[in-house]
Amino acid sequence: MLKISWKKQLLYTVMEVIGLILELVGGFAAVISGRIGLFLLFVAGALLWGAGIFLDDRMYRCPHCGHYLKERNHRGFPSNHVFEHCPGCGWLVQIEQE
């Protein structure tokens, strides 16, 4: 049984959303005003968004073999769909929220 903390899941989702908002606002503001300081807001948002995605993806790992349990889309990014069986060892995935 794979135990996923709902607090961590909420934290990583909030990181993704805030990072995406900062990235969009910083990008538009940097282009409109032409200031380099606003471009750093864009970069900070991109880093926060990427960290949220990375940490959320790391929560879904097989406890037996360590294989990632989230499917990847055609570009290699993790999707929200979780495998029913581990692709590495065939373990039946049962997720429990803590």
Q: What residues pair up with 70 in beta bridges, in sequence order?
A: 82
- Percentage of the chain with pLDDT > 70? 95
pLDDT in tens, 66-84: 888 887 776 766 677 888 8
| Overall pTM surpassing 0.85 (yes/no) | no
Q: Are 50 and 20 in contact (CB under 8 A)?
A: no
Domain housing 14 = 2-97
Question: Does the pLDDT of residue 29 top 70, yes or no?
Answer: yes
Strand locations in the chain, DSSP E? 2-4, 70-72, 78-82, 95-97
Q: Are 93 and 2 in contact (CB under 8 A)?
A: yes
Total structural domains within the chain = 1
Confidence band, pLDDT 50/70/90 cuts, at residue 15 = very high
